[in-house]
């Protein structure tokens, strides 16, 4: 059995090699600049792009977000064996207005009426401070990594203890309202370990993944695997978008057109179901500068005017990861901009010999029409105060995927 340390306040929490138990210790950082890169990369192996310390540094102190980062290094007998990345985000009351205020409810409790009144009168006040293990800008398991010498149960035990400990120690204008651990394709084990500490698991919008069939070398061969209905659908999309010119943007191009790219990105952001984080305005150029080869941005032009863009990462394990996009919605239907982006992502993945293409969340039904299949993502949440307990159920319900019909464009075998 482990005997874990107790929380402390003040800057002592940033001292190195704080004792966690008789075998493990840890060091906490609030800035990437203090993290020993060699140690961090020893665990990330330099190949886990979304654990890259320079990439995570891009997200710090962004003028467009209320985001703070926490980095934890875990040691076994003073040898690094694990890394944990967390984000702290403040949400204003106005974010939850559509979530909690049900104007059609025939009967409301006095508590709910008071809460609705508070939200209405204090839209710009911080209502919830979320402590997330993981990266809220990326879908996937990017919250922690351990070396193979630490078994899974021990990893999860240490993870829960440290997240709980660091969360309690935060004194940044208020206490933590809720703790979130995201996103997993399989349940973390043992289940009892999480439920005993007050965590509830729930499913969020799935990732949409395309598995590239063996022997496919280009997009045309991929579409030939479709049934006649979906081949004709693809031909119609390509015909509508034939006047759109697609350009791969270099760093200088992105820098020059950053304002237009950001405006197109804001079109997507403003339509988002839940506005978690807004990117910094220099995000695309900064990311391209950092990952010249791994990060790709395509511009979609009509009469030399950019009307859409897409971005993606080439990951080390033969995966193309779709990232943020932007669209001029006034032209979307006429020129099938969104569908063109999806097919262009698949084409890029095939050309780069990727075995899997992650098209990301949202628009699940549309993405299945181009051959993607949904894979659920599991999160864990733990309320920390009265407000978070009150909104937890509607918050989880709000984040869960809506009903949709999966499509199968491939020929029946």
Is the model's pLDDT at 50 over the cut of 60?
yes
Adjacent-strand bridge partners of 380: 181, 201
> Which residues, in sequence order, are CB contacts of 327 under 8 Å at separation 6+?
264, 267, 268, 307, 308, 337, 338, 341
- Residues 270, 382 within the same domain: no
Segment 47-52 mean pLDDT: 86
Residue 187 lies in a domain: yes
Adjacent-strand bridge partners of 130: 89, 178
Is the model's pLDDT at 2 over the cut of 60?
no
What tens digit of pLDDT does each residue of 195-211 get? 999 999 999 889 999 99
- Residues 171, 236 within the same domain: no
Q: Rounded to an integer, what distance in angstroms lies between the CA atom of residue 42 and that of residue 81?
A: 9
- Residues 82, 171 within the same domain: yes
- Give the per-residue pLDDT at 1: 42
Residue 56 lies in a domain: yes
Burial class (CB in 10 A: 0-12, 13-18, 19+), 12: exposed
Residue 266 lies in a domain: yes
- Which strand (E) or helix (H) includes residue 28? strand 24-29
- Residues 144, 27 within the same domain: yes
DSSP class of 123: T
Residue 273 lies in a domain: yes
Residue 191 lies in a domain: yes
Which two structure tokens, joined as six digits, stand for 20? 């966690």
- Residues 81, 146 within the same domain: yes
Pairing of strands 178-184, 126-133: parallel
Instruction: Of 165, 160, 148, 197, give the one whose Cα is nearest residue 28.
Output: 165
Domain count, the chain: 2
- Give the per-residue pLDDT at 174: 57
- Residues 180, 72 within the same domain: yes
Is the model's pLDDT at 108 over the cut of 90?
no
Task: Indicate which CATH number applies to the domain containing 92.
Answer: 3.40.630.30
Pairing of strands 18-19, 24-29: antiparallel
Beta-carbon neighbour count of residue 209 at 10 Å? 18
Q: Rounded to an integer, what distance in angstroms lies between the CA atom of residue 80 and that of residue 353?
A: 34
Say how far residue 406 (Cα) sits from the centre of its chain.
Answer: 23
> Which residues, in sequence order, are CB contacts of 134 under 8 Å at separation 6+?
85, 86, 87, 141, 142, 143, 180, 181, 182, 183
CA distances from 157 to 2, 115, 192 (A): 9, 36, 11
Residue 86 lies in a domain: yes
- Residues 86, 230 within the same domain: no
Task: Say how many Å lie between the first and final Cα of the chain, rounded.
Answer: 54
Residue 75 is part of which domain span?
Answer: 11-204+377-399
Q: Rounded to an integer, what distance in angstroms lies between the CA atom of residue 388 and that of residue 390?
A: 5
Is the model's pLDDT at 105 over the cut of 50?
no
- Residues 337, 244 within the same domain: yes
Cβ atoms of 328 and 301 within 8 Å: the answer is: no
C-alpha torsion 137→100→88→9, nearest 10: -170
**DSSP-based helix, strand, coil % in the chain, nearest 5:** 35, 25, 35
- Residues 178, 267 within the same domain: no
- Residues 67, 192 within the same domain: yes
Q: Specify the higher pLDDT residue, 3 or 399.
A: 399
- Residues 128, 222 within the same domain: no
- Give the per-residue pLDDT at 104: 47
Is the model's pLDDT at 24 over the cut of 70?
yes
Q: How does residue 392 score in pLDDT terms, banded at 50, 70 and 90? A: confident
Residue 393 lies in a domain: yes
- Give the per-residue pLDDT at 10: 65
- Residues 182, 261 within the same domain: no
> Which residues, in sequence order, are CB contacts of 174 under 8 Å at separation 6+?
126, 129
Rounded to two decimals, the pTM is 0.89
What percent of the chain is modeled with pLDDT above 90? 64
Residue 409 lies in a domain: no
Give Rg (Cα) of the chain: 23
Q: Specify the higher pLDDT residue, 48 or 175.
A: 48
């Amino acid at each position: 059995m482990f005997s874990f340390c107790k929380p402390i306040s003040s800057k002592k929490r940033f001292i190195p090699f704080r004792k966690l138990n008789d075998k493990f210790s840890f060091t906490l950082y609030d800035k990437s600049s203090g993290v020993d890169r060699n140690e961090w990369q020893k665990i990330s192996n330099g190949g886990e792009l979304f654990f890259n310390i320079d990439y995570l540094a891009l997200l710090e102190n962004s003028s467009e977000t209320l985001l703070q980062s926490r980095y934890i290094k875990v040691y076994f007998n003073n040898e690094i064996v694990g890394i944990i990345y967390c984000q702290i985000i403040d949400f204003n009351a106005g974010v939850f207005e559509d979530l909690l205020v049900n104007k059609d409810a025939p009967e409301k409790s006095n508590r709910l009426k008071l809460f609705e009144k508070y939200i209405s009168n204090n839209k710009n006040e911080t209502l919830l401070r979320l402590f997330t293990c993981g990266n809220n800008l990326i879908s996937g398991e990017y919250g922690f990594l351990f070396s193979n010498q630490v078994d899974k149960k021990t990893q999860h035990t240490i993870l829960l203890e440290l997240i709980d400990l660091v969360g309690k120690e935060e004194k940044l204008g208020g206490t933590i309202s809720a703790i979130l651990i995201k996103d997993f394709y399989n349940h973390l084990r043992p289940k009892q370990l999480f439920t005993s500490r007050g965590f509830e698991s729930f499913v969020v919008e799935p990732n949409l993944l395309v598995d590239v069939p063996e022997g496919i070398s280009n997009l045309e061969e991929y579409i030939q695997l479709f049934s006649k209905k979906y081949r004709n659908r693809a031909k119609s999309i390509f015909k509508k978008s034939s006047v759109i010119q697609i350009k791969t943007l270099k760093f200088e191009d992105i820098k020059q057109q950053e304002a237009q790219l950001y405006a197109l990105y804001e079109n997507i952001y403003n339509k988002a179901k839940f506005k978690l984080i807004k990117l910094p305005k220099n995000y695309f150029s900064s990311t391209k500068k950092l990952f010249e080869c791994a990060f790709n941005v395509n511009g979609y032009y009509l009469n030399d005017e950019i009307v859409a863009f897409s971005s993606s990462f080439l990951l080390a394990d033969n995966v193309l990861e779709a990232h943020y996009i932007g669209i001029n919605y006034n032209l979307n239907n006429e020129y099938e901009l969104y569908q063109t982006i999806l097919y262009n992502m698949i084409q890029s993945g095939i050309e780069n010999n990727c075995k899997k293409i992650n098209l990301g969340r949202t628009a699940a039904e549309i993405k299945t029409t181009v051959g993607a299949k949904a894979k659920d993502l599991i999160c864990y949440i733990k309320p920390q105060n009265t407000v978070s307990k009150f909104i937890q159920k509607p918050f989880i319900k709000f984040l869960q995927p809506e009903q949709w019909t999966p499509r199968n464009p491939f020929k029946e075998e």
